[in-house]
Amino acid sequence: YKYLVKGQDGQVRCWESYTGNREFFTSGAEMAVEDDEGHYRQFVLQAEAEDEEVEQDAVSKALTARTPSIRKLVFDHKMAAVQDLEGNVKIDTHTTVFMVALQLPVKVAKKGGSYTVEDEAPNDGRNFAWLPLVEEFRKKSKVRIICIGWPGVHADTFAERAEIERLLVKKNCIPVFPPRQDFEDYVSFCATFLWPVFHDVMTFFQTAKPLAFDEQGWAAYQHVNNLYANAVVPHTHESDIIWVHDYHMLMVPTFISRRMPKANIGFYLHTPFPSSDSFKSLPIREELLSGMMCADQLGFQFFAYARAFLVSVKRTLGLEPSFKSGGFIGLEYSGRHVMLKVAHFVYPFQDTQEIILTDEVATKAAEVRKLFEGKTVFVSMDRCDNLSGLVPKFRAFKRFLRTHSEFRGKAVLVQYTFESTVGYDPTNALLNALRDRADAYLQVDDSGKLCINSKGDGECDIFLRLEMVDRIDRLALFRAADVLLDTSANAGLNLMPFEFITAHHDDSKSHSSVIVSEFSGCSRVLLGSIRVNPWNTVEVVNACERAMKMTQNEKKELNLCNLRYVAECSPFEWFKDFLQDLSRARKKEGIRIENIGFGAKIRPVVMTQHFQKLPIETVCSAYRRAKNRVLFLDNEGTLAADSRHLYREYGAPKGGVSDLKSRGSPPDEQVLECLRMLCQDQKNTVVILSGRDRRMLEDWFGSVNRLGLAAERGFYYKLPMTGGQWHCMKQDPDYTWQSYAFEIMRQFVKRTQGSFIESKGSALVWQYRDVDPYFGSMQAKELSSHLKDLLFGFDVDVLNGKGYVEVKLRGVNKGVAVSKVLAKVTQMYGDVDFILCVGDDRSDEDMFEAVAAFTTPEEPATDNTSSQLSTTDGESDGHSGGEMQQQARSGPSAEDELGPMATDTTWSKTRKLSNIGSLAASGCGNLAKLGSMGFGSEECSSAAAHQKFFTCTVGRKPSAAKYFLDDVEEVSEVLSSIKLQQERSGRRASKDYVSSYHTWSGGDMMRPGMRVASQPALSSLAFGPVARRP
């Protein structure tokens, strides 16, 4: 809305002088709107101060007297506002979910020459829980879920594969058949490299004889991941949901996004994420992160693992986490927002409870109790690897019995251990160590019963069973035991404590105890367990003693605490929440995604719909036809390679601000030669914009005549039309603030290793990109806070950017400089019909936005640009065309230098009036051009069509530019092409130009193949001479 100004007679005078429209937003069922900064409200309050108490009583009574319908309306409105934080996302019958994991949740077996599908899930990890969970979700939500994975067998022929596919299609499963050798290499790479790495065990270099990185295994890993992606893509659509699981599939999101850039991909990591110190030493760290970041949502078991991932991403890719309303956290990556979800896998309590109460479990549990009758049984089930902490566990239990001899013969440890994915190694030192420390083995005899095979005649304290057991045997063991002893060195969630608690859900007389390692994820949620450091043997011994001496009431209280948590968590809700959040993280409509990079480091980058590589032929064609051209070029990173990182000086600077050194990269001679050729053309205005000072730009570009320079991001400038003299954007700027800012920055440099101060003339920058990211961020926030307090009242802005804190004069940037140059060129030479603007970094984005605003001047500019264009210009809205021409004839004065230009309204009128004075300069050559001045000709629309504006960023990245070039070499190629075009045009013009023709159309003196240049007769006859470029 806007206000109208009326006179005392009630007649409308004019609209208020306010750029754009005023706005207000509703925020509740009741609302008051004010835009006078509260003046009227204060006046009313002061006038009725004596009735304040009466009013307050009336308000209270009014609130109390609200009808139920009004109260319900207010409640519903506020509740809707809270629910809107999550957004309205539904998972319904139209949704298809693709679950991608190493193995399918069903087992395929070959019996009698044919294949069968067993409902029993593969007995490995979480597979026992997936199948009932998927079936439950299909039944309750009516969602189609398709599982993709290895079927558990290798099919050697196409006929066998077809048979397996026909069997699995009934189970909504799609099998993947990787080559046998590649699959073996892949599994070995996962087990021997990725599994230890993700558990912070760097075995490949923490040994006396470190092994070289397994290049063959890495190639097999990528190949198998690509096969899984190939199995997904033909069956899915961009509207479907793809959920990838665990470290076996880290590269699957990359391969899917290559073929389906807008696919909705989620990735869930069921293991811990390594610390940043471990992860940064990996030779494939960028590839693994790029693979994960191709997903729309990343899931982690606990925030500790998500925090380790965020630290690694920040130190490797330089990304900062961002937070959104509703508690969402994510990362801005290549124009996309990758969401993070923290929620651990939930154990299926209800389903397991039913199995525990079966007769089969009761029978096998009775067998275990009979073997250890009258003894307290400590049990554990672990993978046979060093991460399980098996040797420290055996050592601690032996010491427990030696220290507390009263428990010898009364307490035993039963350890079940199973092989890793790649199987047992007969020469494995860990396996031999376990055999040496165990007193007896548990084995199954020929009758199928569990029995003890003792190693000697003495007392047996530790019993070892070396084989994979099914879920029934595992539940029976837990059901018969009294204490769970977990000493994992590093584990993700560790489902065994959950299963042990579920096995004792109905204890009434004798209650169980749980001892868990503090390095297991479950220790963060099972608050009724006894937490221990497995490397502290005394602490483990004390925990065993406590479990033996604990009263039944204390055991009951702790057991109920754990049981309450395990029973209340629902796998269905965990599954549903992840899918809903993944759907919220879906890529937005109307965007274009391009895959940038090569090999495994490829990444999807969000581009605007029209973002494309700069077409050199189109640029040259538009350049050839244009009559009034402007070229804006950045230097470092655009015309010259950016080598600033080679010249950083660390440590507290000596001296003052003026002693700060600045180094940069000058352009090469080829670029300078191109600039010389471009500046020779009177139709061109070429401007170099840089953050460097005037002296450096003069040294680098001083040999190029008629070249415009804008130093310190446009704070100082000189242009051919201003006489080639340096001018300042602000008159008499106050530099007092620099002394204060420099001193406090110098103090922070002393205390922040790797930081340094950089002077950019009108700006001071504290750089900390080489500092530890987290320490640097903390120091930057502290410095920014100090600077804002210290420099309050100065005309400066304090910016906290990526790797730097900058203090700069307010209203100074390259965008403002570009706007002023374009306004001045338009004022003096007429409409600009060709713009080429090229830059590479964040400061150049202001240039691109200014050029975009120039193409549509009727739209209101930004506040920053508007403030610069609305200051004095020596002209009023009512100046005439004659005044404009008189000014053009006399040339720019000192007061009319580039300085602050006219307002948006003045700018628009200046563009129209300048068309009259620039008729000859525009090369129109006929009276039809008068139509572009508003005299009714159809030429007006076609003139705008011939305008070609090119904004181009160097490097493929999200940008306000419409085009991109890959590197500095391509920028040089564009300039060389334009130079060649100009040389050809110059030769053609010298051949075809006829200087003696002064008639309007050339008349009969025209010869075929010859053209007449624009004649001064029209301009001198009607409007007088026009301004000539210096």
Is the per-residue pLDDT at 942 higher than 70? no
Output the six-digit token pair for 248: 């076996």
Model confidence over 759-798: pLDDT tens digits? 888 889 898 888 888 888 899 999 999 999 888 888 899 9
Neighbours of 283 (CB within 10 A): 11
Average pLDDT, the chain: 80
pLDDT at residue 646 in the model: 60
Range name among 138-142, 700-704, 1006-1010 with the lowest pLDDT average: 1006-1010
User: What is the C-alpha separation between 625 and 487, in angstroms, rounded?
Assistant: 78
Quote the percentage of the chain above a pLDDT of 90. 43
Return the DSSP state at 248: G
pLDDT band at 426 (very low <50, low <70, confident <90, very high): very low
The torsion angles phi and psi of 276, rounded to 5 degrees, stand at: -65, -35
User: What is the C-alpha separation between 267 and 249, in angstroms, rounded?
Assistant: 9
User: What is the C-alpha separation between 450 and 371, in angstroms, rounded?
Assistant: 9
Question: For residues 472 and 123, is the Cβ–Cβ distance under 8 A?
Answer: no
User: What is the C-alpha separation between 803 and 845, in angstroms, rounded?
Assistant: 18
Is the per-residue pLDDT at 868 higher than 80? no
Is the per-residue pLDDT at 401 higher than 80? yes
| Mean pLDDT of the region 181-206 | 86
Range name among 47-56, 105-114, 575-584, 916-925 with the lowest pLDDT average: 916-925
Output the six-digit token pair for 750: 């002393």
Residue 834, classed as helix, strand or coil, is strand
pLDDT band at 732 (very low <50, low <70, confident <90, very high): confident
Q: Backbone dihedral region of 172: left (phi > 0), alpha (psi from -120 to 50 degrees) or beta?
A: left
Residue by residue, DSSP assigns 745-792 as HHHHHHHSTT-EEEE-SSEEEEE-TTS-HHHHHHHHHHHHHHHHHHTT
Question: For residues 699 and 666, is the Cβ–Cβ distance under 8 A?
Answer: yes
User: What is the C-alpha separation between 144 and 169, in angstroms, rounded?
Assistant: 13
- The residue ranking higher by pLDDT, 93 or 994, is 93
Is the per-residue pLDDT at 913 higher than 60? no
Neighbours of 593 (CB within 10 A): 18
In sequence order, the 6+-apart residues with CB closer than 8 A to the CB of 996 are none
pLDDT at residue 130 in the model: 82
Between strands 756-759 and 763-767, the pairing is antiparallel
| Mean pLDDT of the region 440-450 | 88
The torsion angles phi and psi of 631, rounded to 5 degrees, stand at: -120, 125
Alpha helices in 280-389 (DSSP H): 285-293, 303-317, 349-356, 359-371
Is the per-residue pLDDT at 991 higher than 60? no
Residue 160, classed as helix, strand or coil, is helix
Is the per-residue pLDDT at 870 higher than 50? no
Which whole-number Å values give the CA distances from 428 to 84, 381, 386, 438, in the listed order?
57, 19, 11, 16
Torsion angle defined by CA atoms of residues 957, 959, 965 and 966, in that order, rounded to the nearest 10 degrees: -20
Question: For residues 236 and 96, is the Cβ–Cβ distance under 8 A?
Answer: yes
In sequence order, the 6+-apart residues with CB closer than 8 A to the CB of 761 are 693, 694, 711, 712, 715, 716
Sign for the pseudo-dihedral over CA of 298, 300, 303, 309: negative
What is the identity of the amino acid at 253? P
pTM comes to 0.74
pLDDT band at 459 (very low <50, low <70, confident <90, very high): confident
pLDDT at residue 879 in the model: 35
Residue 265, classed as helix, strand or coil, is strand
Closest alpha carbon to 331 in 323, 781, 242: 323
Is the per-residue pLDDT at 475 higher than 90? yes
Neighbours of 349 (CB within 10 A): 20
pLDDT at residue 927 in the model: 32
| Mean pLDDT of the region 264-276 | 94
pLDDT at residue 39 in the model: 66
Neighbours of 50 (CB within 10 A): 7
In sequence order, the 6+-apart residues with CB closer than 8 A to the CB of 234 are none
Residue 712, classed as helix, strand or coil, is helix
User: What is the C-alpha separation between 699 and 658, in angstroms, rounded?
Assistant: 18
pLDDT at residue 771 in the model: 87
Is the per-residue pLDDT at 903 higher than 60? no
| Mean pLDDT of the region 1000-1017 | 40
Residue by residue, DSSP assigns 167-198 as HHHTTTEEE----HHHHHHHHHHIIIIIHHHH
The torsion angles phi and psi of 290, rounded to 5 degrees, stand at: -60, -40
Closest alpha carbon to 581 in 333, 305, 299, 332: 299
Model confidence over 804-846: pLDDT tens digits? 899 988 888 899 999 999 999 998 888 999 999 999 888 899 9
Quote the percentage of the chain above a pLDDT of 70. 79
In sequence order, the 6+-apart residues with CB closer than 8 A to the CB of 997 are 1005, 1006, 1012, 1015
User: What is the C-alpha separation between 422 and 433, in angstroms, rounded?
Assistant: 19
Is the per-residue pLDDT at 423 higher than 50? no
pLDDT at residue 760 in the model: 82
Rg (the chain; Cα; Å):
38
Question: For residues 840 and 965, is the Cβ–Cβ distance under 8 A?
Answer: no
Residue by residue, DSSP assigns 945-1007 as HT-EEEEEEESSSS-SSSEEESSHHHHHHHHHHHHHHHHHHHHHHHHH--TT--SSS-GGG--
Is the per-residue pLDDT at 701 higher than 80? yes
pLDDT at residue 29 in the model: 57
| Mean pLDDT of the region 35-43 | 66
Is the per-residue pLDDT at 998 higher than 50? no
- The residue ranking higher by pLDDT, 325 or 746, is 746
Model confidence over 528-554: pLDDT tens digits? 999 999 999 999 999 999 999 999 999
In sequence order, the 6+-apart residues with CB closer than 8 A to the CB of 158 are none
Is the per-residue pLDDT at 248 higher than 90? yes
Between strands 328-333 and 321-324, the pairing is antiparallel
pLDDT band at 50 (very low <50, low <70, confident <90, very high): low
Is the per-residue pLDDT at 410 higher than 60? yes
Neighbours of 91 (CB within 10 A): 18
